[in-house]
Amino acid sequence: MRKFVILIMVLCLPTLIHSQKVGTVGAQFLKIGVGARPAGMGDAYIAVCNDATACFWNPAALAQVEKREVFLGHVEWFADIRCESFAYTQMLGNLGRIAVFGTFLGSGDIDETTMTDYGGTGNTFQYQAMASGLSFARQLTALFSVGANLKFVREDYGGYSDVTTWGMDMGTFYRTGWKSLRLGMSILHFGPELTPDGTYEDWEDGALVEGAKEYGSYSMPMTFRFGSAMEIIDSEHQKLTLACDAIHPNDNLERIHFGGEYTLFDMLSLRCGYKYQTGEQELYEEGITFGTGFRLSLGERGINIDYAFGEFGYLPDVHRVSMGMKF
């Protein structure tokens, strides 16, 4: 237990150093939650994840995945923006578990405008972003596991500029031994600052003030998460899981996410969640979420199909679908 406490302190240190709010950060697409199952539970998931989506939430939880698994996910975001994701995980003998993962976002066509062509130039461009990497997790004891990701991150601003960097995620997963209570912790998107290539022109009131200025640097959206989960009902035919995550981002107020999942006959799951932001809740923040899932078992193999819905106040609703295959 003392080693576990020390590890928590080490993982918390970068978050404490960056506790001061710094405003908008870059690579915002990394903050879009991956997977319909966690989304249906309000993203209260880092102590729940027991499938390949652990790559995106808490890499240490990959040690809980018992079989080889493939995950595919799709998100219908705002303004025809789409986000696709995948993950594959398998055992490395007694060494631990390894996984590869990726997420890709595309804006679709955007009309090009300039300071001299307010109505548009007739051309279009696209914003595209991606992150892909490798995960490793190891069970240190029967109750405690650790994991980490190393990933490659890239943003392309319609061909006008782009930025490439690397990032890391670290996590721990701990079964307390008291009933089914478990704790999870992760630090996501830790890495160097991003500096776009190329230059830009500075305009004011329709007049060119200065040309060929270099872009400034901005931080990755580093996020510290701590969560717990427990089965309130756990019988042969039904299971009820409750979860709670506390989130500390480096560019916004702290948040608390609550989620629940009710599973019947290990086949049908119903999920709901709520995201609470400390301070005043913004009208464009996601609040209530709902989801459902269906599991089909084929001997030692299985297929999961999940759907989630999230409401964002004045913004359009968000829909997610995902599929997982165990073999």
- Specify burial of residue 318 (Cβ count, 10 A radius: 0-12, 13-18, 19+): buried
Instruction: Spell out the per-residue pLDDT of the chain, length 327, in tens.
Output: 444 333 333 344 444 344 445 457 889 999 999 999 999 999 999 999 999 999 999 999 999 998 899 999 999 998 889 999 999 999 998 899 999 999 999 998 888 887 777 777 888 889 999 999 999 999 999 999 999 999 999 999 988 889 999 999 999 999 999 999 999 999 999 999 999 998 888 877 777 877 788 888 889 999 999 999 999 999 999 999 999 999 999 988 889 999 999 999 999 999 999 998 765 545 456 788 999 999 998 877 899 999 999 988 778 889 999 999 998
* DSSP SS3 for 135: strand
- Residue where the block lists tokens 């696709």: 84
Cα dihedral 17→23→28→32 (10° resolution): 80
Neighbour count for residue 131 (Cβ, 10 Å): 24
Question: Assign residue 189 a region: left if phi > 0, alpha if psi is -120 to 50, beta otherwise?
Answer: left
Tokens of 259: 């989620």
According to the model, what pLDDT value does residue 170 have? 97
CB-based contacts of 236, cutoff 8 Å, min separation 6: none
Distance CA 258, CA 180 (A): 17
Dist. CA 248–CA 187, nearest whole Å: 10
- Sign (positive or negative) of CA dihedral 242, 248, 249, 253: positive
Domain containing 217 equals: 2-326
Structural contact between residues 319 and 307, judged by C-beta atoms closer than 8 angstroms: yes
pLDDT of residue 198: 86
Q: Total structural domains in the chain?
A: 1
Q: Which amino acid is at 92?
A: L
The tokens of 99 are what? 């996984």
User: What single-letter amino acid sits at 91?
Assistant: M
- Domain CATH code at residue 90: 2.40.160.60
Of the candidates 281, 190, 253, 255, the one whose C-alpha atom is nearest the C-alpha of residue 22 is 253
Q: Which amino acid is at 294?
A: F
Q: Give the pLDDT of residue 183.
A: 98
Q: Hunting for tokens 């578990």 — which residue is that?
A: 97
